[in-house]
Chains A and B, each alone.
Chain A
Amino acid sequence: MAMAGVIAYGAAAVVTVADVLGRRIGLPIEGVVDLVQLFVVTGAWLAMPYAFMSAAHVSVDFLLALMPDSLAVALRLLAAALTLGLLALMLWQGFLTFQTRTMFGDKSQQLGIPVAWYWYPLLVGLAASMLGVLLELHQALKRTPDHE
């Protein structure tokens, strides 16, 4: 999934560069903006679960390191619960928004790509991110807390 995400980013780069070069010789890529958006949205949401899984999210663990282990574990559980709750709400409401927008038949501005294509990666990414949070929590609780 991570690899697919980076390939999608790569596709965005390739399309853009092809357009930059192509327009010099009169062969621009039609709807390059629509395509780049599609690739970046896809890449971002495929990447998202990995960021949760590897705990890449920016946080300040300075105070955490000073706390007794039991409290630190409790805070970790709170963080995971809050993250899961937020992701679940986003997935639920995101799905409703997705339904509304596909019902309207929304399309990308230039090429008319159905908006659903931009939403599938989002829905998959949010669901997989919840799994990622659980996996990371499992790993973190298994590790012994590390103080210097």
Chain B
Amino acid sequence: MSDAILGLLGFCAALVLIGLGLPVAVSMGAIGALGYWYLNGWMGAAYILGSSPFESIFPYSFSVIPLFVMMGVFASHAGLSRSLFNVINAYIGHRKGGLAITTVGASAVFGAICGSSLATVATIGRVALPEMKRHGYDPSLATATVAAGGTLGVLIPPSVLLVIYGLLTQSSIGQLFIGALVPGLLGAALYAGAIMVRVRLNPGIAPRSERTGWRDRLRLTGQVWPVMVLFFVVIGGIYLGWFSPTEAAAVGALGAFVLALFSGELNRATLRASVFETTGLTGMIFFILIGAALFNFFLENTGLPQFLIEQIRNSGLGPTSVMVLILIFYIVLGCFMDAMSMILLTVPLLAPVALELDFSLVWFGIIVVTVAEIGLITPPIGMNLFVVQAAARDVKQGTVIRGIVPFILADILRLTLLVAFPALVLWLPAQAF
């Protein structure tokens, strides 16, 4: 049996274990260690088992992960997400579908400082679902909006996925962050468009809320300025060269903690919740990194990456066809895996292919992260769909899925635009560097 076939089998075996409900990290780690054992004997497997747990956390560049997570957790427990929501609603809540559009906007802004898609869905869901229910919104529209909105934040910097992509491909994290801005905003605009079209077709699903006066608008805006300042310091600081992206995470984490302290919402209970959320999330992410390292040791040893690159090189397909193949591959994979595991597992395989085809790695990274995020909302299996359902127990899975279709169409339109016009990604970084 050729080693490449073995690699493919290992890949399928990991997917089966994941499909059976085993933790993603454990599935990847176990298959990786077993496969490596089969190929190299016990000595080899012993070595990777002994060193991967250390090497997967030790690199300095990985310190951004817990720090950004901390920033997001404190921001949410300080009530920053709720006040952001109120402000945006004050400006556009009286328009058709305004509350849903508000939800999209709040998701984008909160996701931007939080960086975790699931955390965004959980947080915004807590705030927006009751509001929309109160205003008589159709549950299908409400839940789907929250699930889809969660995917926006991961693309708007700072983004843990982009950081990991940058580390894997050794491309500039700063350029990735700036390149992601336009596609992220485009995504938000297209979602808003999808909502408006749907509401126009069926006005009954989204009654309007009352117009807020300018006085109240300004008062509410005044309340959120600290969040805005934090956002501009973190992003602007990277841009202006005050600090590196790694250091920006520390500034953000400390800043969010200080805001939380002054918000008056940080008591014993919320502090406890913040601590447990931070440890749960970072423990999970780091253990996935360890599992992925074990799996990649095995995958690399089978020569599967080279085999795939050979296949694509010899396929004679043009860059566009290859890109379309890659997109389909990710959307299918997205049914089984979360975005983080997908990036870790596939980017080392595909980045060489992208280079081979003369794609810009920054552009490719934005596309990959975008499409990995779409996987989170595509049925039958999409993490965001599950999380939003957990927040709205009375809504059926089918109702959520029905509502998500227009958002998926909006995403396909966005991908088409990004593939057709790479300048949407690349223009801004070219101005900054």
B430 in the interface, Cβ–Cβ < 8 Å?
no
How far is B280's CA from A6's CA once the two chains are assembled, in angstroms?
11
A89 to B33, CA, bound (A): 10
Name the A residues within 8 Å of B22 (CB-CB).
Answer: 59, 75, 78-79, 82
- Tell whether A25 is near chain B: CB-to-CB under 8 Å: no
Q: Contact at B242–A20, with CB atoms within 8 Å?
A: yes
Contact of B286 with A by CB under 8 A: yes
Contact B280 A13 (CB under 8 A): no
Q: Which residue of the partner chain A has the closest CB to B49? A: A93
* Distance between A140 CB and nearest chain B CB, rounded to angstroms: 12
* C-alpha gap A54/B30 in the complex (Å): 21
- Cβ 8 A contact of B60, one of A3, A36, A49, A63: A36
B13 at interface by CB-CB < 8 Å: no
Among B46, B275, B283, B341: residue with most chain A CB under 10 A? B283
Docked-complex contact B287 and A48, CB < 8 angstroms: yes
Nearest residue (CB) in A for B53 is A90
Q: Which B residues are in CB contact (< 8 Å) with A76?
A: 21
Is B41 located at the chain interface by the 8 A CB criterion? no
- CB-based contact A50/B18 at 8 Å: no
Are B251's CB and A58's CB within 8 A? no
Are B21 and A47 in contact, CB atoms less than 8 angstroms apart?
A: no
- A17 at the B interface (CB under 8 A): yes
Is B33 a contact of A56 with CB atoms below 8 Å?
no
A48 surroundings in chain B (CB, below 8 A): 283, 286-287
- Tell whether, in the assembled complex, residue A54 and residue B20 are in contact, meaning their CB atoms are under 8 Å apart: no
Contacts of B30 in A (CB 8 A): 82, 85-86
A92, chain B: closest CB distance, angstroms: 8
Residue in A13, A36, A78 with the greatest tally of chain B CB atoms within 10 Å: A13
A56 in contact with B280 given A41-B58, A62-B380 (CB within 8 Å) = yes
B21/A51 in contact, CB under 8 A? no
A116 CB to nearest B CB, Å: 12
A16–B234 CA distance with the chains assembled, in angstroms? 14
Among A65-100, those with CB < 8 Å from B are: 72, 75-76, 78-79, 82-83, 85-86, 89-90, 92-97
Q: Interface residue count for A (Cβ, 8 Å)?
A: 60
Known: A10-B257, A36-B63, A126-B53. A56 touches B20 (CB 8 A): no
| Any A CB within 8 A of the CB of B391 | no
Contacts A12-B67, A16-B247 given; does A37 touch B60 at CB 8 Å = yes
Write out, one digit per residue, whether chain B residues 275-305 have a CB within 8 A of any chain A CB (1) or not (0).
Answer: 1101111111011101000000000000000
What 0/1 readout, one digit per residue, does chain B (227-246) give for beta carbons within 8 Å of chain A? 00000000000000011001
- Count A-B contacts at CB 8 Å: 192
Inter-chain contact B33/A47, CB cutoff 8 Å? no
Could you tell me the distance in whole angstroms from the C-beta of B214 to the nearest C-beta in chain A? 38
Q: Report chain B residues within 8 Å CB of A82.
A: 22, 26, 30
Q: A58 contacts B60, CB within 8 Å?
A: no
For residue A72, give the distance in angstroms from its CB to the closest CB of chain B.
Answer: 8
Supposing A20-B242, A82-B30 touch, asked if A51 and B279 sit within 8 A by C-beta, the answer is: yes
Contact B24 A17 (CB under 8 A): no
Contact with A along B186-199 (1 / 0, CB 8 A): 00000000000000
One digit per residue, 1 when the CB lies within 8 angstroms of any chain B CB and 0 when it does not, for chain A 23-42 equals 00000000001001100110
Question: A6-B278, A16-B67 known; 12 other A-B pairs, CB under 8 Å?
Answer: A5-B282, A10-B254, A13-B250, A44-B282, A47-B280, A58-B284, A59-B21, A64-B20, A64-B21, A96-B50, A97-B47, A118-B58
Q: Chain B: residues with CB nearer than 8 A to chain A?
A: 18-26, 29-30, 33, 46-47, 49-54, 57-60, 62-63, 66-67, 70, 242-243, 246-247, 249-251, 253-254, 257, 274-276, 278-284, 286-288, 290, 336, 338, 340-341, 380-381, 383, 386
Chain A residues within CB distance 8 Å of chain B: 2-3, 5-6, 9-10, 12-17, 19-20, 33, 36-37, 40-41, 43-52, 54, 56-64, 72, 75-76, 78-79, 82-83, 85-86, 89-90, 92-97, 118-119, 122, 126
Q: Closest 8 CB pairs between A and B?
A: A51-B283, A93-B50, A16-B250, A47-B279, A56-B280, A97-B50, A64-B21, A57-B23
Q: List 14 A-B contacts (CB under 8 A).
A: A6-B279, A13-B254, A14-B254, A17-B254, A37-B59, A41-B58, A44-B57, A44-B283, A45-B57, A56-B284, A57-B288, A60-B21, A64-B21, A72-B21
